[in-house]
């Protein structure tokens, strides 16, 4: 059969399936989350002062060893890749788990890996410390991150809306063209009442905070945000699947007019469309994870596609979850709102879909008007 | 011969060996294609002797690329989509050894074009309600009825045909599947003109057509199960084909965008980028689906790919007309013609827009596909079936 001439970069599609190791990893993480993060406890946590669930974090990051997955063994990690890390993200997304995995084990870890830093990296990989990149959570890969200046060994300035800022032991701060590590205790941090209280934001101010330079130039930050955006797509995938599963289960058991409401085409067809979008989300999220794991040159395109696609799918899934649960779905006592808030926040996090489409337009030579 | 199925390296070696012995620049294209089939490099997942080597299906794409790069002749899949995508997997799954040996080789080489005699005026989405009767008469069957929406019947040598053989049982149980010789007496093909102006499709009238019992696929009364295999493969054939980035409609519109800066507006750019993302997502989904399919038959997942393809093709072809502005108001030709190939991206933008409207109807309407996904994948309650236990002959029609 004739096939068009192929382009080795853009046409290459790696393994988009899950391997046995990944299946096992998923099962372990799901078991821990089932035990320690049922939605009732996630919901209760949103009304407590603690910025995250420290016991759950210890179980996932240290006991299961998930925090060190993408870190090479000689740097204290598990020597796996971003593909396995993506599976953890899917599972955490399914639970809207209140742990700083994306911020510390993905974004900060990626920044330190790119910077060639070793000491802090080892502590993050072991789950002994939490570090977060001090940028607004809405920052897209490649965005300018102004606001903080480095002078005389200290940082001065402010950054708003830093995800998991209060969970952090160390803040990684882009400033004056480099990246600096600051002891979180040396920054002034203010908790933000957040749309998504399962991943809370913090406003951060530095007034002469002692800082240690860990990277020159913007590359480490850019790489970290790109990998973060790739992994976020897997979180969105997991969240969307959870919403679909819960909704399908509900419409099979909820009777109105003498029939399960899931027997009406008005709902069946929307759920079928949602399922089809989620199968697409899985393909694009796996592709993005596969590209960043391999350091593939096509990663920026794959990540922009994944974010542009998966943001909308997760949000749609959460919105349909609320709507198809009817009255109960609008209440505080049902988990749908946890997913709605996480999905909406995720759709803004690390760049909106629109921002990623704009990036994509430049990457694939489709310039704006 | 080792017992293990050949891996990628072994296929690469065999393809190289074949190409060294068969120079595509010299050899007659048909002879080349026949030899490629006989070497097992046509459908690598087929058994030996039937165009394959029992290799994983996933390795096909690399073999195809190898042959294309060497300038090998095409078997023109655009002329024989029904044959390659639907008839072949059904024959492979249900055919006797003799049937497979007779039909698969000329099908793959493109010598024999195939069509599909499924839909009827009274049986569209409800295919199992079909009324074309086949009555047994010794070693053969006599068939009477009318089929419709038959793509390429005017080019076809053979057809896959599903008939009613027992009207006294509920509809799904009384069907039987045949291969019909399109040159047989009593087969009449009439063009059916579509909203594009051309007649890609046909009506096919079957009047006392004799079909040997040796041309039956599967058991008598098993026609629904056999048809389901065909339809599952159809949805994969339409939605899950191997494709490089920016192939199909999105490539057409992306090229237009790059060539014509004068047409660009912010709103159209937004629409273009949304479509580009969707097209790339659909491409990757197709790639993932093929990775899943490497072992075994397609499941209902193919329905999702087909659903997405129809929506996307319609959106993008509509965008192309808007982008063209005044030129989008032109049409190339309303003359009644009978094309010899099916290619959704050929002819003019207006044609592409109109042809895409068929994508959500042919091969299972998008509404039926949503029912299939909802019921078979998600396990939601089935539609209320008033005809389930009623003998076919007693159904209201």
Task: Mark which of A99, A129, A159 sits at the end of a domain.
Answer: A129
Number of continuous H segments (helices) and E segments (strands) in chain B:
12, 8
> Which residues of chain B make contact with A1, given a CB cutoff of 8 A?
64, 67, 74-75, 77, 84
| CA B370/CA B158 separation, integer angstroms | 31
By C-alpha distance, which of B215, B176, B217, B214 is closest to B94?
B217
In the DSSP assignment, the letter for residue B43 is S
| CA B324/CA B344 separation, integer angstroms | 18
What is the model's pLDDT at position B286? 87
A136 in any annotated domain: no
What is the model's pLDDT at position B238? 44
| CA A118/CA B215 separation, integer angstroms | 71
- Is residue A187 a contact partner of residue A147, using CB atoms and an 8 Å limit? no
The residue-averaged pLDDT of B299-322 equals: 90
- The whole-angstrom distance between residue B326's C-alpha and the CA centroid of its chain comes to 35
Are residues A194 and A252 located together in one domain of the fold?
no
A9 in any annotated domain: no
Q: What is the pTM of this model?
A: 0.91
Size of chain B in residues: 397
What is the model's pLDDT at position A1? 32
| CA B377/CA A254 separation, integer angstroms | 19
In the DSSP assignment, the letter for residue B216 is E
Instruction: Give helix A265-294 / helix A82-95 axis angle, nearest 10°.
Output: 150
- Say whether B381 and A252 touch across the interface (CB within 8 A): yes
Span(s) in chain B for CATH 2.40.110.10: 114-221
Q: Give the distance from residue B134's alpha carbon to the nearest chain A alpha carbon, in angstroms.
A: 35
- Other C-beta atoms closer than 10 Å to the C-beta of A317 total 29
For residue A104, give its domain range: 20-129
A100 in any annotated domain: yes
Task: Specify the CATH number of the domain B114-221.
Answer: 2.40.110.10
Are residues A24 and A95 located together in one domain of the fold?
yes
- Over the stretch B68-117, which tens digit does the pLDDT of each residue have? 999 999 999 889 989 998 999 999 999 999 999 999 999 999 999 999 99
Q: How far is CA A322 from CA A278, A343, B288, in A?
A: 17, 12, 30
A369 in any annotated domain: no
Instruction: Using the Cα atoms of residue B14, residue B18, residue B20 and residue B24 in order, give the sign of their dihedral.
Output: negative
* pLDDT, tens digit only, all 369 positions of chain A: 333 334 444 566 888 999 999 999 999 999 999 999 999 999 999 999 999 999 999 999 999 999 999 999 999 999 999 999 999 999 999 999 999 999 999 999 999 999 999 999 999 999 999 999 999 999 999 998 878 999 999 999 999 999 999 999 999 999 999 999 999 999 999 999 999 999 999 999 999 999 999 999 999 999 999 999 999 999 999 999 999 999 999 999 999 999 999 999 999 999 999 999 999 999 999 999 999 999 999 999 999 999 999 999 999 999 999 999 999 999 999 999 999 999 999 999 999 999 999 999 999 999 999
Could you tell me if residue B118 is left (phi over 0), alpha (psi between -120 and 50 degrees) or otherwise beta? alpha
- Is residue A294 a contact partner of residue B319, using CB atoms and an 8 Å limit? no
Instruction: Give helix B349-356 / helix B249-259 axis angle, nearest 10°.
Output: 150
- Is residue A318 a contact partner of residue B323, using CB atoms and an 8 Å limit? no
A141 in any annotated domain: no
B268 touches chain A (CB under 8 A): yes
Contacts A–B by Cβ distance under 8 A: 163
| CA A317/CA B363 separation, integer angstroms | 28
Are residues A193 and A310 located together in one domain of the fold?
no
- Is residue A139 a contact partner of residue A225, using CB atoms and an 8 Å limit? yes
| CA A199/CA A164 separation, integer angstroms | 6
A269 touches chain B (CB under 8 A): yes
Nearest CA in chain B to A302: B280
Are residues A232 and A305 located together in one domain of the fold?
yes
| CA A277/CA B282 separation, integer angstroms | 9
Are residues A95 and A208 located together in one domain of the fold?
no
- Is residue A93 a contact partner of residue A234, using CB atoms and an 8 Å limit? yes
Are residues A161 and A248 located together in one domain of the fold?
no
Size of chain A in residues: 369
Buried b (16+ CB within 10 A) or exposed e, B158-197: bbbbbbbbbeebbbbbbbbbbbbbbebeebebebbebebb
Number of folded domains in chain A? 3
Nearest to B287 among A275, A283, A305 (CB): A283
- Assess whether pLDDT exceeds 80 at residue B2: no
Q: Where are the beta strands (DSSP E) in B138-174?
A: 140-147, 158-164
3-state secondary structure of A280: helix
A138 in any annotated domain: no
- Say whether B245 and A3 touch across the interface (CB within 8 A): no
Number of continuous H segments (helices) and E segments (strands) in chain A:
12, 9
Instruction: Tell me chain B's radius of gyration from C-alpha atoms.
Output: 22
Are residues A209 and A229 located together in one domain of the fold?
no
What is the model's pLDDT at position B295? 45
Here the tokens at position B267 are 């709103």
B258 touches chain A (CB under 8 A): yes
Nearest to A366 among B72, B272, B377 (CB): B272
DSSP assignment string, B132-146: -EEEEETTEEEEEEE
Beta bridge partners of B150: none
Instruction: Give helix B301-324 / helix A265-294 axis angle, nearest 10°.
Output: 90
What is the model's pLDDT at position A14? 86
Nearest to A17 among B292, B307, B383 (CB): B292
What is the model's pLDDT at position B68? 93
- Other C-beta atoms closer than 10 Å to the C-beta of A3 total 20
CATH value at residue A336: 1.20.140.10
Task: Mark which of A201, A217, A233 sits at the end of a domain.
Answer: A217
By C-alpha distance, which of A179, A198, A199, A82 is closest to A135?
A179
Are residues A213 and A225 located together in one domain of the fold?
no
DSSP alpha helices (H): ranges in B216-324?
223-239, 249-259, 266-293, 301-324
What is the model's pLDDT at position B1? 46
Q: Give the distance from residue B257's alpha carbon to the nearest chain A alpha carbon, in angstroms.
A: 7
Buried b (16+ CB within 10 A) or exposed e, B366-391: bebbbbbbbbebbebbeeeeebeeee
Residue B188 designated active-site: no
| CA A126/CA A133 separation, integer angstroms | 18
Are residues A169 and A225 located together in one domain of the fold?
no
A142 in any annotated domain: no
CATH value at residue A161: 2.40.110.10
The torsion angles phi and psi of B116, rounded to 5 degrees, stand at: -125, 115
- The whole-angstrom distance between residue B197's C-alpha and the CA centroid of its chain comes to 22
Select the residue from A243, A274, A280 to test the B interface by mutation, using most B Cβ atoms within 10 A.
Answer: A280
Q: Give the distance from residue A20's alpha carbon to the nearest chain B alpha carbon, in angstroms.
A: 14
A260 touches chain B (CB under 8 A): yes
Q: Which of A362-366, B1-5, B32-36, B266-270 has the lowest mean pLDDT?
A: B1-5
Instruction: Using the Cα atoms of residue B110, residue B112, residue B118 and residue B122 in order, give the sign of their dihedral.
Output: positive
> Which residues of chain B make contact with A361, given a CB cutoff of 8 A?
269, 273
CATH value at residue A124: 1.10.540.10
| CA A105/CA A99 separation, integer angstroms | 10
Q: Class of B227-377 per CATH?
A: mainly alpha
- Over the stretch B253-264, which tens digit does the pLDDT of each residue have? 999 999 999 999
């Amino acid at each position: 059969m004739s096939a068009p001439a192929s382009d080795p970069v853009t046409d290459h599609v790696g393994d988009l399936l899950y391997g046995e190791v990944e299946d096992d990893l998923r099962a372990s993480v799901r078991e821990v989350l089932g035990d320690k993060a049922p939605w009732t406890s996630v919901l209760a946590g949103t009304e407590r002062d603690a910025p995250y669930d420290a016991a759950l974090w210890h179980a996932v990051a240290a006991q299961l060893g998930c925090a060190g997955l993408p870190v090479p063994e000689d740097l204290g990690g598990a020597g796996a890749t971003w593909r396995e890390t993506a599976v953890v993200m899917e599972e955490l997304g399914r639970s809207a788990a209140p742990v700083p995995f994306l911020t510390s084990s993905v974004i900060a870890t990626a920044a330190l890996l790119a910077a060639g830093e070793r000491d802090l990296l080892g502590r993050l990989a072991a789950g002994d410390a939490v570090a977060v990149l001090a940028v607004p959570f809405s920052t897209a890969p490649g965005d300018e991150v102004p606001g903080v200046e480095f002078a005389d060994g200290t940082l001065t300035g402010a950054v708003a809306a830093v995800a998991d800022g209060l969970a952090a032991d160390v803040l990684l701060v882009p400033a004056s063209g480099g990246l600096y590590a600051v002891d979180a205790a040396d920054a002034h941090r203010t908790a933000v009442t957040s749309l998504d209280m399962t991943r809370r934001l913090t406003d951060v101010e530095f007034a002469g905070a002692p800082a240690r330079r860990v990277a020159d130039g913007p590359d480490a930050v850019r790489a970290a945000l790109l990998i973060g955006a790739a992994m976020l797509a897997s979180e969105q995938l997991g969240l969307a699947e959870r919403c679909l599963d819960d909704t399908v289960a509900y419409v099979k058991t909820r009777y109105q007019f003498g029939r399960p409401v899931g027997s009406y085409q008005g709902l069946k067809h929307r759920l079928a469309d949602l399922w089809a979008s989620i199968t697409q989300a899985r393909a694009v999220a796996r592709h993005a994870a596969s590209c960043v794991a391999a350091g593939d040159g096509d990663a920026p395109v794959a990540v922009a596609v994944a974010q542009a696609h998966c943001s909308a799918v997760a949000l749609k899934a959460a919105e349909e979850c609320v709507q198809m649960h009817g009255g109960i779905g609008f209440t505080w006592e049902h988990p749908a709102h946890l997913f709605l808030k996480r999905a909406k926040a995720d759709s803004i996090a690390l760049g909106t879909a629109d921002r990623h489409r704009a990036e994509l337009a430049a990457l694939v030579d489709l310039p704006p008007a | 011969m080792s017992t293990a199925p050949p891996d990628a390296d072994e296929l690469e070696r065999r393809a190289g060996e074949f190409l060294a012995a068969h120079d595509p620049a010299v050899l007659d294209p048909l002879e080349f294609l026949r030899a490629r089939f006989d070497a097992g490099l046509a459908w690598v997942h087929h058994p030996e002797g039937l165009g394959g080597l029992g290799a994983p299906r996933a390795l096909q794409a690399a073999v195809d690329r190898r042959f294309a790069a060497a300038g090998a002749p095409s078997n023109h899949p655009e002329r024989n989509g029904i044959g390659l995508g639907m008839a072949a997997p059904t024959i492979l799954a249900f055919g006797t050894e003799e049937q497979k040996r007779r039909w698969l080789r000329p099908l793959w080489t493109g010598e024999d074009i195939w069509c599909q005699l499924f839909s009827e005026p009274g049986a569209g989405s409800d295919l199992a309600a079909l009324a074309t009767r086949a009555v047994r008469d010794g070693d053969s069957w006599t068939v009477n009825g009318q089929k419709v929406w038959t793509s390429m019947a005017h080019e076809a040598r053979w057809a896959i045909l599903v008939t009613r053989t027992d009207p006294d049982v509920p509809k799904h149980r009384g069907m039987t599947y045949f291969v019909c010789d399109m040159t047989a007496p009593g087969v009449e093909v009439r063009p059916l003109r579509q909203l594009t102006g051309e007649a890609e499709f046909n009506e096919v009238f079957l009047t006392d057509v004799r079909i040997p019992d040796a041309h039956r696929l599967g058991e008598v009364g098993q026609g629904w199960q056999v048809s389901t295999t065909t339809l599952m493969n159809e949805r994969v054939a339409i939605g899950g084909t191997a494709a490089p980035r920016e192939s199909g409609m999105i490539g057409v519109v992306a090229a237009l965008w790059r060539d014509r800066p004068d047409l660009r507006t912010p709103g159209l750019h937004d629409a273009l980028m949304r479509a580009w993302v969707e097209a790339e997502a659909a491409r990757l989904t197709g790639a993932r689906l093929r990775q899943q399919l490497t072992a075994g038959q397609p499941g209902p997942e193919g329905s999702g790919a087909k659903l997405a393809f129809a929506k996307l093709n319609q959106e993008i072809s509509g965008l192309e007309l808007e982008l063209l502005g005044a030129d989008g108001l032109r049409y190339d030709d309303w003359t009644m013609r009978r094309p010899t190939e099916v290619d959704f991206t050929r002819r003019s933008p207006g044609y592409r827009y109109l042809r895409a409207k068929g994508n959500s109807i042919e091969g299972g309407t998008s509404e039926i596909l949503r029912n299939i996904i909802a019921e078979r994948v998600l396990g939601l309650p089935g539609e209320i079936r008033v005809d389930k236990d009623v003998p076919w002959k007693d159904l209201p029609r």
